[in-house]
Amino acid sequence: MRPINEMRLQIESRSVNEAYARVAVAAFAAALDPTLEEVNDIKTAVSEAVTNCIVHAYPNEVGKIYIQVRLFERGRMEIRIRDRGCGIADVKKAREPLFTTRGGDRSGLGFSVMESFCDKVRVRSAVGKGTTVTLVKLLHGREASLEP
């Protein structure tokens, strides 16, 4: 299936860029006429994925975060957030609620939050090469929310 529109964004893994990434992706989604709730879901999921890159992929350095957003017919949106950081040794373990490698004030709920706000979450990772998180959101739009 070919996208009807797509965008790419590259940012540095600085915490100040997380807000920009989430707003940029949400603004791009506007073409599908999402509800306010759907926009907030997108922002939250993107925020979690980008924050994971900042905190976990590049813990002691500033690296690049690559974001690709593709819009498809019938309200399907795919958001791919990729880094070239340290990678995840055990993706299955990392996806467990409350698991964190950083400790401190980290709650270990990033993937759980992404899963609760998206229709599908895929995670691919290789140690020393980086991680790709793909978020799939099916947008029903404002027109659907007005139907009886």
115 has catalytic annotation: no
106 has catalytic annotation: yes
Alpha helices in 30-135 (DSSP H): 36-52, 91-94, 110-117
Place of tokens 């940029």: 24
- For strand 64-71 and strand 76-83, is the pairing parallel, antiparallel, or unpaired? antiparallel
Q: Of 17, 18, 38, 48, which one is the catalytic site residue?
A: 48
Q: Of 80, 84, 95, 106, which one is the catalytic site residue?
A: 106
52 has catalytic annotation: yes
Q: Of 52, 70, 78, 82, which one is the catalytic site residue?
A: 52
The set of residues, in sequence order, having a beta carbon less than 8 Å from that of 54 and lying 6+ positions away, is 13, 14, 15, 17, 18, 65
3-state secondary structure of 76: strand
Active-site amino acid positions? 48, 52, 106
